[in-house]
Amino acid sequence: MDLMKAYYCTSYGPPGVLELRDVPTPKPGAHQILVKVKAVPVTVGDCRIRGFRVPPSFQFTAKIALGFTRPRRPVLGRYFAGIVESIGKNVTQFNIGDNIFGSTGNKFGTYAEFVCVSEKSSVTTIPENMSFEDAAAVLWGNGTALHFLRKTNMNTKQHILINGASGSVGLGAVQLGKYFGFMVTAVCSSGNIDLVKSVGADHVIDYTQEDFTEHDGDFDIVFDTVGNHPVQKLMNVLKPAGLLLHIVAAPDVTKEIRKQIKGTQKRFIGGTFTWNKEMISFLKERIENNEVKPIVDSIYSFDEMVKAHYRVDSGRKTGDVIVTFT
């Protein structure tokens, strides 16, 4: 049996629960490709699952979905950039040696030297002259931002505020917000003002100097990527028919938001999203046209996976934390 190295999540807990193990190397089916992984992002989502950071009211449901004592799919990671190592007999879209990037979705499994994906899944070739590290940094934040921004009515006269603009999703939202034609106000710390301006923010609010929730009714859309303000204050920032995009709203928070908007013209969109091939093709085109660029916070080697998780857990990253494979 061929073996590969993979990080195995032995239980829920701090980064140290990730253990490097020898596991069977997957073999591609007829319509699958085997990818030699070269780089992966360590996302906030990965760390939430590893640490089982779930609101008390949602923990039982989450354990049914994820696993009771450890993740049911113990090799975490949903995103990758790598090289096609081998292909199934019916594969027509990719060739051995192609550089590709994409997502495995809820199948996880990218914290490993090799991963199998369907050729019809959310994968495509990497733009020319783009590194594996940059390709891996395109996926999580931009994909999440794209999903939520497409839920708006795309009125280019609208003014959007992005809370957490220097994180992976926030930077994606700033860049794609400008691509779609919004007026963008970014909220970040003083140390990241130049960064968010460099990717297109029209205005910046330094949260160490100013509370954005004091802007009464100024914004058509609030895109909250952090979840660090009370619902009522977020509602006050919106115009009478404004829209709240909230990517970290737990069930109890969602319930409170719906209570707050009842009887008003305000709207709310939350929840998670599922990748599809069109989304990753769209992002590839934006990269090739220099309309979106990856932002890498830091790069760790494969044997530093635990350190990479600590970096994400610190809450101080800007952009994506990347782990590279030899």
Sign for the pseudo-dihedral over CA of 102, 150, 156, 265: negative
Asked if 257 and 243 touch (Cβ cutoff 8 Å), the reply is no
CB atoms within 10 A of CB 114: 25
% of the chain with per-residue pLDDT over 70: 100
- Residue of 198, 234, 207 lying closest to 219 (CA atoms): 234
Cβ atoms of 252 and 227 within 8 Å: the answer is no
Which amino acid does the sequence have at 169? V
How many Å apart are CA 28 and CA 117, to the nearest integer?
Answer: 8
Q: What is the arithmetic mean of pLDDT over 166-170?
A: 96
**Of the candidates 290, 291, 321, the residue with the CA atom closest to the CA atom of residue 304:** 321
pLDDT at residue 59 in the model = 87
pLDDT at 56: 81
Query: Alpha-carbon distance 257 to 134, whole Å?
Result: 36
Q: What is the mean pLDDT of residues 172-187?
A: 97
Over residues 261-312, the pLDDT tens digits come to 999 999 999 988 888 899 999 999 999 999 999 999 999 999 999 999 999 9
Please tell me the predicted confidence (pLDDT) of residue 176: 97
Mean pLDDT of 84-105: 97
